[in-house]
Amino acid sequence: MMAMLSHTHRSDSRKLQMKLNLIAFAAMAGLLVIAPFAIYPLLVVQILCFALFACAFNLLMGFTGLLSFGHAMFYGWSAYIAGHVSKEYGATPELALLFGMATGAMLGLIVGALAIKRQGIYLAMITLAFAQMMFFLAVQMHAITGGEDGLQGIPRNRLFGLIDIDSTGRVYWFALGVFLLAFLAMWRIKRSPFGENLKAIRENEPRAISLGCNTARYKLAAFVLSAAFSGLAGSLKAISLQLATLTDVGWQISGEVILMTLVGGVGTIFGPVIGAVVVVGLEQMLLGFDDWIPVIYGSVFVLCVLFFRKGILGQIQHVFQKD
């Protein structure tokens, strides 16, 4: 009887899932619209950038099962490039974002092409090593990155050359718009045939290969997409917060984005957003005790890996699915 019902049951639960996701999206958008009235807007912008970054990371880890330990290179270098073109060439924000995304995509293509042949643990080590190389390059290439000082006071030029976004209030709406559009785009990617194939590869790669799927291509494409959206997050950060520094390309950021995704729930749609809120929230709570931040992050990491691998959202879904 279970077998007979399972098909309709499954499509029913899918519809329900979709409905829940739409409600969640509306709730998230609604919260974000009122957030700047309750919380300092630039703090929310920081959350949005991290959330976008974590969603991009999740595109790789959650949907393809590949762990990159070097996503800071996409985030950080895109921030530099977006900042650089805004500062030196007066590029409009949408152009700067495009440049940033392209930077991420290009780096992703190069690193991905070299690394994707190797799986699991190898991929993590290789990406970490390349990210470190990009960190050293950032230290050396003063002309673009500003070296130790980084890029400060990046101008917020007029959006499309027309709209002024140069105030805390205005830049918030700009960042929110970019975030929501990018979020929807990644959601759409997950639900597309491409996303379904990624899922098939993650669940059973040999089977996907035997069905004639060129899995290496798909993985590389996922890697590049993830890098591109990470680049979008980095450049959004550079423009909205007017800052791009070595911190953005350091290995700690690569660790932080893993932490956000892990805490929120790997592979879930909204998990990374929750993770970003939690991590930035922790940081705010520890303001003044900065020294303790790594210790707390490390402890959260350990707890998550040992007891809580599904993350907050994954755990909630698990409980509901049991009923």
Query: What's the CA gap between 262 and 298, in Å, rounded?
Result: 12
Using CB under 8 A, pick the residue from 59, 128, 220, 280 that binds another protein: 128
Query: What's the CA gap between 84 and 64, in Å, rounded?
Result: 33
Using CB under 8 A, pick the residue from 258, 273, 276, 279 that binds another protein: 258
The answer to whether residue 262 forms part of the interface with another protein (CB under 8 A) is: yes
Site track for another protein across 304-323, x = CB under 8 A: xxx--x--------------
What amino acid is encoded at 184 in this protein?
A: L
DSSP one-letter code for 93: H
- Only segment of 174-182, 195-203, 267-275, 298-306 that touches another protein (CB under 8 A): 298-306
CB of 213 to another protein, least distance (A): 19
What amino acid is encoded at 210 in this protein?
A: S
Contact 183, 55 (CB under 8 A): yes
Around Cβ 229, how many Cβ atoms within 10 Å?
A: 30
CB of 31 to another protein, least distance (A): 30
The answer to whether residue 16 forms part of the interface with another protein (CB under 8 A) is: no
Around Cβ 154, how many Cβ atoms within 10 Å?
A: 25
The answer to whether residue 72 forms part of the interface with another protein (CB under 8 A) is: no
Where does 141-167 have alpha helices with state H? 142-145
The answer to whether residue 247 forms part of the interface with another protein (CB under 8 A) is: no
User: Could you tell me what percentage of the chain is helix, strand and coil, using 3-state DSSP and rounding each to the nearest 5?
Assistant: 80, 0, 20
The answer to whether residue 121 forms part of the interface with another protein (CB under 8 A) is: yes
List the structure tokens of 91: 């590029």
Contacts to another protein from residues 129-188, by CB under 8 A = 129-130, 132-133, 136-137, 139-140
The answer to whether residue 291 forms part of the interface with another protein (CB under 8 A) is: yes
List the structure tokens of 47: 């959350």
Catalog residues that contact another protein under the rule CB under 8 A: 67, 69, 114-115, 117-122, 124-126, 128-130, 132-133, 136-137, 139-140, 251, 255, 258, 262, 291-295, 297-302, 304-306, 309
